[in-house]
Chain A
Amino acid sequence: MVRILTGVMLLLTISASRPCSAQTETPAERPDPQKVIVKLFGAGVGNLDSYGTGVLVSKTGHVITVANHLVSTGFLTAVTWNGRRYAAETIATSSEFDVALLKLKSDPADEFSFTDLAQAKDVDQGTPVLAYSNMFRVAAGNEPVSVVHAVISASIPLEASQGRWKFPLKSPVWLIDAITNNSGAAGGLLVDESGAPVGLIGREIRHASSRTWVNYAVPMTVLKPVVTAMLEGRQTVTPTRSTESTPMLTDQEITTRYGLTLLPGVVERTPAYVDAIVPESPAARAGFRRGDLILLIGDAVITSVTDVQKRMAEFRPGQKMSFTVDRDQQLQPLELTAGQGGTAGANKP
């Protein structure tokens, strides 16, 4: 009887101190979500934003974010919750999971609060969540980022796109009932009410069939293995998905049609620098100059000569191609009309 009483007393104590013991996990083990968010600032190109959000995933300053244009154009600065600014370097990207891993160039002694991906949690439809992001760049320095309330509406495979870019992930993502599809929100953090990491807020894309802007987040449980692999250095850069069927212009075609010569694409990701311009060619008339770095064609981010060759092949004669180039650290818009060629003197061989 004494043992029973002791047991009862013990239980009473437990239930008194933990009134919702079944649902609530101890939040003390988790950092304040605000402290694991970084505001990202980079090179804005065209009408795309120059800012975004990231989530710290290691004590030494690794950050995950969406592998979008902000990451591809480089020159990233990350601002932590306390207003400290760091240069950030992309050390790995996965186009399959649409995630990038950055590393803050911090002092080795610096320690950061971070989201432990081991605590990544799958939640049910209907679960209340909070979404943290620097949407609309409301916060700049040490100000906390925006937090909005939401409910998990569904877990579904997402068919969505941004221009010609198609959302790559095949496994289901979280759809949420708050508007997170906003400038700068990509790479934000979705947490449940206990603060457990649930998802990484996705990019600004439209649903393939309804063409409406989709508010989604990639489940952290899905990202955990790939990010872990990146953190361990097992995975650096996954190549863009198979593109065999994609038509490409050759270097020579670009030169003969437009009078534009790029650096020879000797390595896989040769940057798209303009090497020469044929005088009085369409490229010359469009205002291209030697040394221009092509960053964008339309909305598509250009990271290599190959990207230019692919992208330029997509235009039909007469269509206007809008280029954004980096010239002496300034962004310069240029426009070229797609044509059949011959203008630069040589015909297609």
Chain B
Amino acid sequence: MRFRWAIYGLLLLLAYHPVSAQQTLAEREGSRIETIRQISPSVVCVMASSGEGGGSGVLISSDGLCISNYHVTSGSGNFMKCGLNDGRVYDAVIMGIDPTGDVALIQLLGRTDFATAVPGNSDFVRAGDEVMALGNPFLLASDFSPTVTWGIVSGVHRYQYPANTFLEYTDCIQIDASINPGNSGGPLFDISGKWIGINGRASFEKRGRVHSGAAYAISVNQVLRFVDHLRAGLIVDHGRTDFTVETGDNDEVQVSQVSELSEAWRRGLRPGAVLLTFAGRSLTSANDFQNILGTWPEGTRLPYSWRDEGGVHSATVRLSPLHSFTKAPELPAERRPPRPERMPEDSGELSPTEDQLPEEIQKLFVQKEGFCNYYFNEQQRAQLLNPLRTRTQPVEAYASTWQIRFQQEGSTSATNGELAISPETVGLRIGDSAWLQQVDNPKTDEEPAAMSGLLIAMNQLRRLFSTDATALDEITAFGTTVHLPLGKTCRVLLSRQGIRTGRWYFDAAESLPIAVDLDFETGQDEIRLIFENWKDWNNVIFPERIGIVNATTEEVSWLRVTDAARQN
């Protein structure tokens, strides 16, 4: 019998296992310490060149791209000083800003092997997850080793109103880790060391501007949607739809107003309809809608679906600009970053002015209305435009006319057609019908309804290929976006000529655009074309197939090119 009790005792010991529990705790601590050691080198202390004010940031590429808050970089000038946990100070230049989302991208200079943070997927973050916030609260660390605070996720999909400012935190992560002035712009990591957000805001109240148990981080997924726009030196805008919604009964989101000039109206969306999904997420409240909308850059085309008496419908919509800032907007004083405890008032040594910077750094900033730093836009544009020109230049002669013969695919009797594209006019013939568009004065009835805008788009393509400076008013790099309906992530060049705005989509595999969406007239649907297999036909660079996206069904109908030639 004693034997039996001994076994019971042993088993009880096994069941409780206090030793292993302690080991687990020690292991957890050990792995946390190791994680902090690994992620700390990517954490940046951002300071204005003047030495006034500062905040935090996080490195996201080995060549020094660093994300911070707009309210940190705003007011710190075009150049700043950044400290890393190696104790060294690096020069940095502003690249792009997202004032509404409170995000800024800066470039640290002087190395090509910066440590970087590894992004996680913030859509998978849940309340209760352990998190660590790294940064420089109160600008404490004189050696720039970041302060680490630990906590849990208190809530996800939070919405924080743009209180007294334009800074709007949508779909953000609420945490209870200590966030104080100076933490702004710094990274939030999950417990495994994946970067999941940018700490930028907190609920401050009766205690003053110190941690009060509720802080908010911009989700990394949102940041990454804007990062290529920021790389292009832009003042990136957030988007709006030309319809509004309100929370209706039974967790439904009801459409309240629709602009009659909008794409949504033309798709059939009317007040009273129930919005079911937006950008692939289901909705239960107007807050949900606002939350999702706020995480996308202006100009993005997004899918949505709704229900009305006619049943369930789906379509896509392009987001219109929300604020259209033409220069970096000013922030009220209370949103500006803190000043360090010890101000270098007694010596001017820590405050180099911009003109004291070496010339090779100064040339990294180019001022232009509508841009944050035009230098980087020129760089990005050249990356797309130069290979395109290399391909088209040897054969392109702008003054000539292109003659394209095609067949309409899919129709029962293959209909033959012809396009004649010159700089001033574009002609189209399908079967026995013919149309002629004056480029300067286009008329929408001067082409088949299903191809509305095709002729203008063909002319815009010629202008894109042209090196004539007057062919287009402006060509700018516009970050990356997912092309619909192709579903491919593409880099975008934006062209403007008068009221015409073209978005040219580039795939890494092809130096010529794989698609264009052309907005050519207010109150009209864009013409959306897909280009397949570019080739050189007797000195005309033209695709083998052109797809026309139907705005209502999102289906593509194809024209197969059978011949192309140039007439001088």
A binding-site residues for B, Cβ under 8 Å: 4, 7-8, 11-12, 14-15, 18-19, 21-22, 82-83, 130, 135-136, 138-149, 178-180, 182-183, 204, 213
Which 9 pairs show the lowest CB-CB distances between chains A and B? A179-B213, A15-B15, A148-B176, A136-B203, A146-B154, A149-B152, A11-B11, A4-B4, A141-B285
Query: Which residue of chain B lies nearest to A141 when distances are taken between CB atoms in the complex?
Result: B285
Shortest beta-carbon distance from B180 to chain A in Å: 12
Q: Are the C-beta atoms of B11 and A15 separated by less than 8 Å?
A: yes
Shortest beta-carbon distance from A159 to chain B in Å: 20
B residues 174-229 near A (Cβ < 8 Å) are 174, 176, 203, 205-207, 211-214
Q: Are the C-beta atoms of A142 and B154 separated by less than 8 Å?
A: no
CA distance A12 to B98 in the complex (A): 59
Interface of B is mostly: mixed
Shortest beta-carbon distance from B17 to chain A in Å: 8
Given the interface pairs A15-B11, A145-B155, A146-B214, the reply to whether A82 lies near B251 with Cβ below 8 Å is yes
Q: Among A19, A22, A144, A183, which residue has its beta carbon within 8 angstroms of that of B127? A: A144
Q: Are the C-beta atoms of B174 and A146 separated by less than 8 Å?
A: yes
Query: Which residue of chain B lies nearest to A137 when distances are taken between CB atoms in the complex?
Result: B203
CA distance A228 to B251 in the complex (A): 34
CA distance A130 to B213 in the complex (A): 13
Chain B residues, CB < 8 A from A15:
11, 14-15
Q: Among A8, A14, A146, which residue has its beta carbon within 8 angstroms of that of B7? A: A8
Q: Among A4, A142, A182, which residue has its beta carbon within 8 angstroms of that of B212? A: A182
Q: Are the C-beta atoms of B11 and A138 separated by less than 8 Å?
A: no
Q: Are the C-beta atoms of A144 and B213 separated by less than 8 Å?
A: no
Query: Which residue of chain A lies nearest to B21 when distances are taken between CB atoms in the complex?
Result: A20
Q: Are the C-beta atoms of A179 and B11 separated by less than 8 Å?
A: no
Q: Are the C-beta atoms of B176 and A149 separated by less than 8 Å?
A: yes
Q: Are the C-beta atoms of B15 and A138 separated by less than 8 Å?
A: no
Most buried by A among B127, B154, B158, B205: B154
Q: Are the C-beta atoms of B207 and A213 separated by less than 8 Å?
A: yes
Given the interface pairs A83-B284, A138-B174, A147-B127, the reply to whether A182 lies near B154 with Cβ below 8 Å is no
Per-residue contact bits, chain B 240-267, to A (CB 8 Å; 1 contact, 0 not) = 0000000100010000000000000000
Is there a chain A Cβ closer than 8 Å to B3's Cβ? yes
Most buried by B among A21, A82, A179: A179
Q: Are the C-beta atoms of A83 and B155 separated by less than 8 Å?
A: no
Q: Are the C-beta atoms of A11 and B8 separated by less than 8 Å?
A: yes
Q: Are the C-beta atoms of A135 and B7 separated by less than 8 Å?
A: no
Chain B residues, CB < 8 A from A180:
213
A and B contact pairs by CB, cutoff 8 A, 13 listed? A4-B4, A15-B14, A21-B15, A83-B284, A135-B213, A136-B214, A138-B155, A142-B251, A142-B284, A146-B174, A147-B155, A148-B176, A182-B205
Query: Which residue of chain A lies nearest to B285 when distances are taken between CB atoms in the complex?
Result: A141
B residues 1-15 near A (Cβ < 8 Å) are 3-4, 7-8, 11, 14-15
CA distance A149 to B157 in the complex (A): 19
Size of chain B's interface in residues, with CB distance under 8 A? Answer: 32
CA distance A148 to B177 in the complex (A): 9
Per-residue contact bits, chain B 15-38, to A (CB 8 Å; 1 contact, 0 not) = 111000000000000000000000
Number of A-B contacts (CB under 8 A): 90
CA distance A146 to B212 in the complex (A): 13
Q: Are the C-beta atoms of A22 and B16 separated by less than 8 Å?
A: yes
Shortest beta-carbon distance from A342 to chain B in Å: 40
Interface of A is mostly: loop
Chain B residues, CB < 8 A from A182:
203, 205, 212-214
Shortest beta-carbon distance from B562 to chain A in Å: 58
CA distance A139 to B14 in the complex (A): 44
Query: Which residue of chain B lies nearest to A21 when distances are taken between CB atoms in the complex?
Result: B15
Q: Among B15, B155, B287, which residue has its beta carbon within 8 angstroms of that of A146? A: B155
Most buried by A among B151, B155, B284: B155
Shortest beta-carbon distance from B83 to chain A in Å: 29
Q: Are the C-beta atoms of B287 and A143 separated by less than 8 Å?
A: yes
CA distance A148 to B206 in the complex (A): 19
CA distance A213 to B206 in the complex (A): 9
Chain B residues, CB < 8 A from A130:
128
Q: Are the C-beta atoms of A148 and B284 separated by less than 8 Å?
A: no
Q: Are the C-beta atoms of B212 and A179 separated by less than 8 Å?
A: yes
Chain A residues, CB < 8 A from B205:
136, 182-183
Chain B residues, CB < 8 A from A82:
251
Chain A residues, CB < 8 A from B285:
83, 141-142
Query: Which residue of chain A lies nearest to B176 when distances are taken between CB atoms in the complex?
Result: A148
Q: Are the C-beta atoms of A8 and B152 separated by less than 8 Å?
A: no
CA distance A82 to B250 in the complex (A): 10
Most buried by B among A4, A15, A143, A180: A143
Chain A residues, CB < 8 A from B158:
138, 143
Q: Among B11, B15, B155, B247, which residue has its beta carbon within 8 angstroms of that of A8? A: B11
CA distance A19 to B251 in the complex (A): 41
Q: Are the C-beta atoms of B15 and A7 separated by less than 8 Å?
A: no
Shortest beta-carbon distance from A77 to chain B in Å: 15
CA distance A178 to B215 in the complex (A): 13
Per-residue contact bits, chain B 265-302, to A (CB 8 Å; 1 contact, 0 not) = 00000000000000000001101000000000000000
Q: Among A12, A135, A136, which residue has its beta carbon within 8 angstroms of that of B11? A: A12
Query: Which residue of chain A lies nearest to B284 when distances are taken between CB atoms in the complex?
Result: A142
Q: Are the C-beta atoms of A144 and B214 separated by less than 8 Å?
A: no
Query: Which residue of chain B lies nearest to A150 when distances are taken between CB atoms in the complex?
Result: B176
Q: Are the C-beta atoms of B3 and A4 separated by less than 8 Å?
A: yes
Given the interface pairs A135-B213, A141-B247, the reply to whether A7 lies near B152 with Cβ below 8 Å is no
Shortest beta-carbon distance from A46 to chain B in Å: 14
CA distance A13 to B238 in the complex (A): 57
Q: Are the C-beta atoms of A83 and B251 separated by less than 8 Å?
A: yes
Q: Are the C-beta atoms of B287 and A147 separated by less than 8 Å?
A: no
Chain B residues, CB < 8 A from A143:
155, 157-158, 287
Chain B residues, CB < 8 A from A4:
3-4, 7
Q: Are the C-beta atoms of A138 and B214 separated by less than 8 Å?
A: yes
Chain B residues, CB < 8 A from A145:
155
CA distance A158 to B285 in the complex (A): 42
Chain B residues, CB < 8 A from A18:
15
Query: Which residue of chain A lies nearest to B4 when distances are taken between CB atoms in the complex?
Result: A4
CA distance A8 to B8 in the complex (A): 7
Query: Which residue of chain B lies nearest to A149 when distances are taken between CB atoms in the complex?
Result: B152
Chain A residues, CB < 8 A from B4:
4, 7
CA distance A15 to B20 in the complex (A): 15
Additional A-B contact list (10), CB under 8 Å, known A178-B213, A180-B213: A8-B11, A14-B15, A135-B213, A136-B205, A138-B155, A142-B251, A143-B157, A144-B127, A146-B214, A149-B151
Q: Are the C-beta atoms of B154 and A147 separated by less than 8 Å?
A: yes
Shortest beta-carbon distance from B228 to chain A in Å: 31
Shortest beta-carbon distance from A137 to chain B in Å: 9
Shortest beta-carbon distance from A84 to chain B in Å: 9
Query: Which residue of chain A lies nearest to B212 when distances are taken between CB atoms in the complex?
Result: A179
CA distance A19 to B18 in the complex (A): 11
CA distance A144 to B284 in the complex (A): 13
CA distance A145 to B269 in the complex (A): 34
Per-residue contact bits, chain B 131-154, to A (CB 8 Å; 1 contact, 0 not) = 000000000000000000001101
CA distance A178 to B203 in the complex (A): 15
